[in-house]
Structure 1
Amino acid sequence: MKEKLTSSNSKKNVFALGSVSFFTDLSSEMVLSLLPTFIISLPGSNPAILGFIEGIAEALSYSMRAISGFFSDKIGKRKNLVLGGYALSNIIKPFFGVVNNAFGALIIRVLDRVGKGIRTSPRDALICDSIPEKNRGVAFGIHRTLDQAGAIVGPILASILLIIFGFTAREVFWFSIIPGLVALVILIFFVKDETCKKQSEFTFLRGLKNLLKGKFLWLLAIVSIFSLGAFNFSFILLYGSDVGINNQYIPLLFALVNIAHVAIAIPAGIISDKIGREKMLFIGYLIFLAVALTIVIEPASYFVALIISIMYGLYQGICNTVTRAMIPKYVKPNLVGTAYGIFYLVSGFSFLLANIIVGSLWNNLGSNLAAVYSLFLTISSLIGFAIFIKMKKIS
C-alpha cells in the first residue's frame, strides 16, 4: 500500500511539474514567437546580432544548469532552486515591453535564460527522483508534452491578441505575466520535493572526475559536435520572415514547430524505452540533418518554411525528450543533478558558437551557406554516434 501511494504521489509530481511548464511555456512562447522579428526591428540590429544575443543567453543558461545541478545534489533538495528559476524567468520576460535597443534585449533575454538555467537541472533531477528508471522515457515524454502544449497555445494566443484585439508586440509581452504567475502558484502549492541523499562530502571537482570518463564522456563529445551546428528556433522564424510571411503570422509558424514537438514527444519516449534511447536520438539528429538539407537544396518559399518548421519541431521533440531520459543511465544516482549540469554546460557553449556563427553566415552570406555549415557538423556527429552505438552493442 505504501509503494502504491508513493507511486501515485510521484505521478502527481510529474504532472504538477508538467503543469508548471505548461503555463510558463504559454507565457514564454507568447514572447519568443515575436522576439526574433522584434529584435531585428530594433535600431542597428541584424541576424548576426540576433545570433549573438541568442548564443550568449543560451550559453549562460546552460552554465547555470551546471551550477544548479551541482547544488541540488549538494544540498539534497530540488524544489527551492526550481522555484527561484521559474520566478526569475516569469517576472522578467514582460520587461521586453520597455526595450528600445539590442543591448536592452540582450539583458532581458539573458536574465530570462539564467532563470531557465537555474531551474532545469534540479527539475529534471526531481523528475528522476520521482520515477523509476524503466519509466523515465514516458515520464519525460509526459512532461515535455505538457510543456510544449503551452508552447502551442502561447504563439496562437499571441497571434489572436495581435490580429483580433489589435495588441502591439510590446503589449503582448506585458500580457505574458498572467500565465507566468499561474505557473508559480502551482509550483508553490502542488510540487513536492522527493527525498534524495544529501552529498555532504561531495565536491564539484570530484564530481567532474567521476563523470568525465567512459561512455558519458563519449556522449558529451558527440553532443558537443552536433550542438556546434544546431541553430535554434529563431532562425526558423527568421527564415519565415525572409520568405515574406507577415509578422502577425510568424507566431503561428512557431506554433507549428511546437505542434510537431508535442506530437512526437510521448511516442519518442515510449519508443526509446523499447529500442534504446541512443537509437532514437540518432533519428532526431537525422531529422535536423533533413532541416538543414532542405534549406540548402529547396528554393525559398512559404511551403518550405512550413515543412522545415514541422521537421524542426520533430527534431526538438525527440532530442529534448530522449536526451534528458538517457543521461542518468551513464552516471551514478548521486551524480544525476551534476551530470545534467555538465551536459547542459557543454551543450550550451557549443550552442553559443553555433548561433554566433550561423547568425554571421546568415547575415553576410545567406541562409544557404549557414545551413551548409550545420550540415557538415551534423554529419560528423552522426558518424561519431554510429560508432558509439556500435561500441555499446559490442560491450
Structure 2
Amino acid sequence: MKHATQQRGWKAVPGGVWALGFVSMLMDISSEMIHALLPIYMVTVLGTSALSVGFIEGIAEAVASITKVFSGAVSDRLGKRKILAVCGYGLGALTKPVFPLAGTLGWLVGARFVDRIGKGIRGAPRDALVADITPAELRGAAFGLRQTLDTIGAFLGPLLAIGLMWLTADSFQSVFWIAVIPAFLAVFVLIVYVKDPAPGSLKKDPKKVLKWRDLVKLGSDYWWVAGVGGVFALARFSEAFLILRAEAVGIEIMWTPIVLVLMSLAFSVSAYPAGALSDRINRISVLGIGLTLLIAADVVIALVPGLTGLLVGVVLWGLHMGFTQGLFAALIADCAPTELRGTAFGMFNLLTGIALFIASVVAGLLWDVVGFQGTFLVGAGFAVLTAVGLVALKRKTSL
C-alpha cells in the first residue's frame, strides 16, 4: 500500500498542502518583489554599508526565528494551526505598504522587522499543519511540493521586479506599491481554502505553557537534526549578498534581481524531486547532495571571475536549497512527537535563525574587510563542517 501511495506522486498530496503552497507562493511574490531590490536600494540610494545590510538581514531573520518558537508552542497548546497562520500572513501583508511610504532607513528597517515577526508567527504552525494533514509516507513529497510552490513565488517576484523597474524607469516606490497586491491575495486564499485537521485529532491544553520538559520530550534524534541544521545555517548567509555581488560585477540595477530569478528557478525545479527522492532513500543522503552543491556554489562565486562565475554559482546555490530546505522540515516531522510538532519546528527555526544572523553579520564584515571572496569561501568552510555533522547524524540517530 505504501508503494502504491508513493507511485501517485504529487497527485496524492492533500489539497490543504496545495492551498498552503499557493498561499506561500503569493506572499513570496510580494516579498521578493521588495527584497530583490531592497539591498541595492539601501546601498546605492541610502548609502548603507555591506556590514549594515548583513546586520539588518541577519537580525530580521533572527526576530522571525525567535517568534517561531512561541507560535509553534501556542499552536500545540491550542490544537489549532490555521488561526496563527492567518495572523502571521496578515501581519506580513499589513507591512507591505510601509516600504513605498518609507523615507528613511529607520522606517525600512522597522517594516522589515515587523514583516519578519509575521513570518515567525506563521512559519512553525504552517509547517506543523503540513505534517498534520499529510500521511507519513508522503511527508517528503508534501514538504517538497510546498517548497516548490513557495519558490515559484520567489522566482516570479524578482522577475516582476525587473519588468516593473523597466516599465517605471527604475521607480523603486512603484514596484513596492504593486507588491502589496499579492500579499493580501495570500491572506484571502488562506482564510477561504485552508482548514485545520478534524477537531480532536490534536491534543490541546490552553493552560499549559512551553516548559523545559517539552524540549526533553523532543528526543535525541530531534536535537541531532537541530544541531546539524544550526551549523548548516552558518554556511547559508542572506541571499542579499548574491544581489550585491551582481551589482559589483557590473549588472545594471534594473537587472540585479535576475540572480534571485535564476536561484529560485533552480530551487523550484529541484525541491519536489529531492523531497520525493527522500521518501524512497535515506533523507540524510539527499542532504549530502545539497551540501555538495552549496560548497560548489561558494567556490565558483569566489574563484571564477565575472558574470560567468556569478551565474553558475547562483544556479548551484538554488539547487542546494532545493536539496536541503524541505528535507530538514521533513526530518523534523519524522522525529518530533505529534503533539509537539509546532514546538519542534519553532525551536529548530530559533536555532537556525540565530545561526543565520551570525552568518549574515560575519558575511558583511568579511565583505567590507576582505572582499567577496572571503565571504563565500568562509561559507564553503562551514558547509564542509556541516558535512562532517551529517556523518555523525547518520551514525548517532535512527533516521
Question: Normalising to structure 1: TM-score of the pair?
Answer: 0.93
Q: Does 1:284 align with 2:290?
A: yes
Of 35-44 and 71-80, the range deviating more from structure 2: 35-44
2:217 to 210, 216, 220: 210
2:354 to 321, 338, 349: 349
Displaced runs of 4+ in structure 1, greater than 6 A? none
- Cα 1:109/1:347, change in 2 over 3 Å: same
Matched with 2:186 is 183
Which letter does structure 2 place at the counterpart of 1:175?
I
Which letter does structure 1 place at the counterpart of 2:162?
S
- Cα 1:340/1:152, change in 2 over 3 Å: same
Matched with 2:27 is 24
- List runs of 5+ in structure 2 lacking aligned partners: 6-10
What aligned pairs does 1:259-338 form with structure 2 within 5 A after superposition?
259-299=265-305, 301-338=306-343
Matched with 2:237 is 231
Shift, 1:109, TM fit: 0.8
Which letter does structure 2 place at the counterpart of 1:116?
K
Once the two structures are superposed, residues 235-272 of structure 1 have per-residue CA deviations (whole angstroms, 9 ceiling, x without a partner) of 11111111111110112221111100111011001111
Shift, 1:105, TM fit: 2.1
Matched with 2:129 is 126
Matched with 1:83 is 86
2:73 to 66, 70, 75: 70
Identical amino acids, percent of aligned pairs: 34
Matched with 2:60 is 57
- List runs of 5+ in structure 1 lacking aligned partners: none
Distance in 2 (alpha carbons) for counterparts of 1:281 and 1:292: 17
Shift, 1:62, TM fit: 0.7
Once the two structures are superposed, residues 215-235 of structure 1 have per-residue CA deviations (whole angstroms, 9 ceiling, x without a partner) of 222222222122123212111
Which letter does structure 1 place at the counterpart of 2:283?
R
Q: Is the 8 A contact 2:263 2:317 kept in 1?
A: yes
Distance in 2 (alpha carbons) for counterparts of 1:375 and 1:261: 19
Q: Secondary structure at the match of 1:386?
A: helix
Q: Is the 8 A contact 1:257 1:312 kept in 2?
A: yes
Shift, 1:369, TM fit: 1.2
Q: Is the 8 A contact 2:295 2:383 kept in 1?
A: yes
Q: Is the 8 A contact 1:284 1:315 kept in 2?
A: yes
- Cα 1:10/1:239, change in 2 over 3 Å: closer
Distance in 2 (alpha carbons) for counterparts of 1:21 and 1:217: 27
Matched with 1:170 is 173
1:35 to 28, 35, 38: 38
Distance in 1 (alpha carbons) for counterparts of 2:300 and 2:134: 39
Q: Does 1:373 align with 2:378?
A: yes
Distance in 1 (alpha carbons) for counterparts of 2:91 and 2:301: 36
